Structure 1
Amino acid sequence: MSVVAKTTDSATAGAREYLTFRLDQEEYGIDILKVQEIRGYEPPTRIANAPSFIKGVVNLRGTIVPIVDMRLKFNCAQADYNSFTVVIILNLRSRVVGVVVDSVSDVMELTPDSIRSAPDIESAIDNSCILGLGSVGERMLILLDIEKLMSGLDMGLASTSE
């Protein structure tokens, strides 16, 4: 009951919660409502002719889930798979997708006044997939529109029914 009340209070203030994770030296945030679960990394089954950033698929309780290595997608230096490496399972529209990240930090609540628009610069991430830059103290988060990012044609994950 208190969780519902807290969510309602946050919604009225315009604050949103973001799951933060690290890729190389950068810290990113995605809408916590898109996150289904967080799992330890296990090598997926490789798919022939898939883009290099799609590591393969895993069977998650009967659902076949494609696994995207965000380090490869964002052109980060190749990172080692270690005990901190995790897979964030996302529930996007009617699609379940896993993303490999270096580590998950925490869940942060950001108000609209703590989010700035992203500068218009050339990067590995399509600017339309960046919601903005969130700042909390000394920390700077790159806030991603993960649903838009994962549904891009270059991802090879778009459903033909959409």
Structure 2
Amino acid sequence: MNQAQNSMPASMTALTIRLDDELFAVEAGRVREILDLVPITEVPNAPDFVGGLINVRGRVVPLADLRVMFGMNRPEPDQDTRIVVMEVDIDGEPTIAGILADKVHDVTDIEAASIEEAPKVGMRWRPEFIKGIGKRNGGFIIIPNMERIFETPGARNAPVAASEERSAS
């Protein structure tokens, strides 16, 4: 059994989203809600990865753009653009964050047997940001390692800290 299978349950219930021209899967159990595009407050001096802050039911939530982490094109938002609000563990603390999705597809089960560890070569992304690659209907689904992405130096700064300060009061 490879490392990706050791860290995955027997099957993974996943929300599939499209970023640029790739299909990604995030753990459905971590998803809190899916929003249409809402006003985004830009944060001065924030890294490109942090798209800004959004208001989710009166709570300040950092918004991340995974396309930046994966070096993808960043097209202008359109009628399919959504914000996936999810819980991510940052430094062992559950934190609510939003991620931009070019399109939200569906909730599906990905069998552990179809999930493989990301190859170390031939990838267009840094393998430490990929938990595994699943196969479905003859195509690939990238399973990002959300905790590692959000713990990347420089990714966690003012916007997340501002969110924590606001929610602590």
Q: TM-score range by the shorter chain?
A: 0.7 to 0.9
Q: What residue in structure 2 maps to residue 111 of structure 1?
A: 111
For residues 148 and 28 of structure 2, the distance between their equivalents in structure 1, rounded to whole angstroms, comes to 15
Question: Where does residue 129 of structure 2 map in the other structure?
Answer: 129
Alignment match, 2:50? 54
1:90 aligns with 2:86: yes
Q: What 5-or-longer segments of structure 2 have no aligned partner? A: 1-8, 165-169
Structure 2 counterpart of 1:30, which letter? Answer: V
Report how far residue 40 of structure 1 moved: 0.8
CA distance in 2, matches of 1:122, 1:134: 16
Letter in 2 for 1:41: L
Contact 1:71-1:79 at 8 Å conserved across structures: no
Q: 1:42 maps to what in 2?
A: 38
Q: Quote the sequence identity (%).
A: 26
Which residue in 2 is equivalent to 1:21? 17
- Separation in structure 1 between the aligned mates of residue 124 and residue 56 of structure 2, nearest angstrom: 29
What is the rounded CA distance, in whole Å, between the counterparts of 2:63 and 2:123 in structure 1?
A: 22
Out of 113-122 and 93-102, give the one that drifted further. Answer: 113-122
Q: 1:77 to 1:122 in 2, by over 3 A?
A: same
Aligned pairs, number:
148
Distance 1:43 1:125 in 2: 29
CA offsets 1:96-153 (integer angstroms, 9 cap, x no match): 1101110111111011111122110375643123121101121210111212222222
TM-score (normalizing by structure 2): 0.78
1:7 corresponds in structure 2 to: none
Given that residues 17 and 101 in structure 2 are in contact (C-alpha distance below 8 angstroms), is that contact kept between their aligned partners in structure 1?
Answer: yes
The aligned residue for residue 32 of structure 1 is: 28
